[in-house]
Amino acid sequence: MKHSTGKVRRGVDPADSTRNSRGRLVAITMLAVGSLLLAGCTSTGAGGAGGAGDKTVLKVYGWKGGDAEPANVKEINAAFEKANPDITLEYSFIPSAAYPQRVQSELLAGNAADVIMTDSAKVQDWGSSGYLEDLSSQPWVTGVRKELKPFVENDGKTYSMPMEVIGISLFANNALLQKAGITQNPATWPEFEADLQKAKDAGITPLSLPNKGGWTGDAAINAIAASLVYKNQPSFDSDFVQGKASFSSWKSSLQQMMDLQSKGFIDFKSELGVDEWSTGISDFQAGKSAFYLQGAWNQSTFTKAGLDNSFIPWPATDKPDSNANLFVGTMLSVNAKSKVKTAAEKYVEFWSAGKNASLYLEAENAVSPFTNGENPSGAATKTFVAAVNDGRYRILPSNTWLSAAGEKTLQEQVQALWLGQQSIDQTVKNLDEKLKPTK
């Protein structure tokens, strides 16, 4: 602001001069206050970026929405801005590998985005640190599936809106299966064994479980246990945390996994040399194996590539009633230090609405985290989604014993088993000792 410095007039009463000076001071002060009030009409996000005109600027961070996993994020964001013309949305895609460190440092500095993508681990960490806004009073909270409450809450408060529950399970290459004389996907363990053998006899690699980083071995044993453990003991996770259960109940699951190698369907040592996030995915897409285990989020890529495949529950049981293996995926949280919390909460609520959420769920090939939500089902995922709709599913306990540290432990134990460094009994003993909760 520029200030005038005019000359003092001669022959003016000092008292009048003082009154005039005070009058000018009052006028200047009122002008300054008015300017501040006017500036207040333009809201800024937690990062302090200015608005455009009288619009509210809302900053959002996420690790979805990039070229590799667009997930219809751009389309949903465009719909939000159209429905809220008073808000300018600034969405920043941050690769998942760099996301935790960058957002953590910005939360600590107080300049992170207004809305940040989270997951169950981040909700527990950042929620307990006071970085996330309590969303317990938001209208969408009552519609969240009850079994998901522990994943979105911390100390009884809701800190995130779940965007999806997504499958980690078995992909089948239908074109290769047909070459081996197989006309339908396996629904039982005996059928699965028979199909693996037929594929092998036809000169087709029966199964690929690329496990260089340890993720696939962990995912495979969980997919098997989803049926062999949780059908008879659905409360295993809470029981184990309370010291009332043991991984001895996982022996049959570990044995089924090891039978894959003893029957010649896979060589675990070879699989340990294949990267699960690059080579493994591209190899299956290129038709190099009949069956493959990964996350349902890859289905969009396979469909786009023209692959004829199915995504099914791991057929672990003798009856066609295997459970789907689910993971609580991405979530949205509000930065506790956001200066535009009303707009931030409006954005989160927009994503909870059925028609908006469906766009994301369809792209991710995920199921709804809400009791009244629709579960998109395509030709490839219909069998998996049917299991979920029937109530046949288990959710990975990423909020308790299968946290980041627990998952690392499980990966190490499975790899040691694959390498022949320990027996199933020793693996069970190690899991009980290393994963038991510390008081």
Q: Tens of pLDDT along 212-236?
A: 999 999 999 999 999 999 999 999 9
Q: Tens of pLDDT along 29-40?
A: 443 434 433 333
Query: Is residue 18 domain-resident?
Result: no
Domain match, 238 and 305 both = yes
Q: Tens of pLDDT along 147-156?
A: 999 999 999 9
199, 260 in Cβ contact below 8 A? no
DSSP assignments along 276-338, one per residue: TTTHHHHHHHTT--SEEEEEGGGHHHHHHTT--EEEE----SSSS-PPEEEEE--EEEEBTT-
Domain match, 127 and 180 both = no
387, 322 in Cβ contact below 8 A? yes
* Among candidate residues 361, 384, 407, the one where a domain is terminated: 384
Q: Where are the beta strands (DSSP E) in 22-146?
A: 56-62, 87-93, 115-118
Query: Is residue 298 domain-resident?
Result: yes
Query: Is residue 409 domain-resident?
Result: yes
Domain match, 132 and 64 both = yes
Query: Is residue 203 domain-resident?
Result: yes
Q: Where are the beta strands (DSSP E) in 150-190?
A: 153-154, 157-158, 161-162, 165-173
Number of domains in the chain: 2
Residues of the chain with pLDDT under 70: 1-53, 439
Q: What is the pTM of this model?
A: 0.85
Domain match, 411 and 371 both = no
Query: Is residue 22 domain-resident?
Result: no
CA dist list (Å): 357 to 30, 77, 98, 333: 48, 11, 26, 16
Domain match, 161 and 68 both = yes
Domain match, 81 and 140 both = yes
Which H or E run includes 28? helix 14-40
CATH of the domain at 362: 3.40.190.10
Alpha-carbon distance of 218 to 431, in angstroms, equals: 12
Domain match, 341 and 317 both = no
335, 112 in Cβ contact below 8 A? yes
Domain match, 408 and 379 both = no
Domain match, 98 and 84 both = yes
The range of the structural domain enclosing residue 337 comes to 56-166+329-384
Query: Is residue 391 domain-resident?
Result: no
Query: Is residue 37 domain-resident?
Result: no
Amino acid 39: pLDDT: 38
Residue 153 β-bridge partners: 158
Amino acid 53: pLDDT: 64
Domain match, 298 and 416 both = yes
Amino acid 437: pLDDT: 86
In terms of DSSP H, where are the helices of 129-267?
A: 149-152, 174-179, 189-201, 215-228, 236-241, 251-262
Domain match, 237 and 185 both = yes
Amino acid 69: pLDDT: 86
Domain match, 155 and 65 both = yes
Query: Is residue 305 domain-resident?
Result: yes
Q: Please, what's the b/e burial string for 328-347 (b: 16 or more CB within 10 A of its CB; e: otherwise)? A: bbbbbbbbbbbbbbebbbbb
Nearest Cα neighbor of 381 from 274, 275, 298 is 298
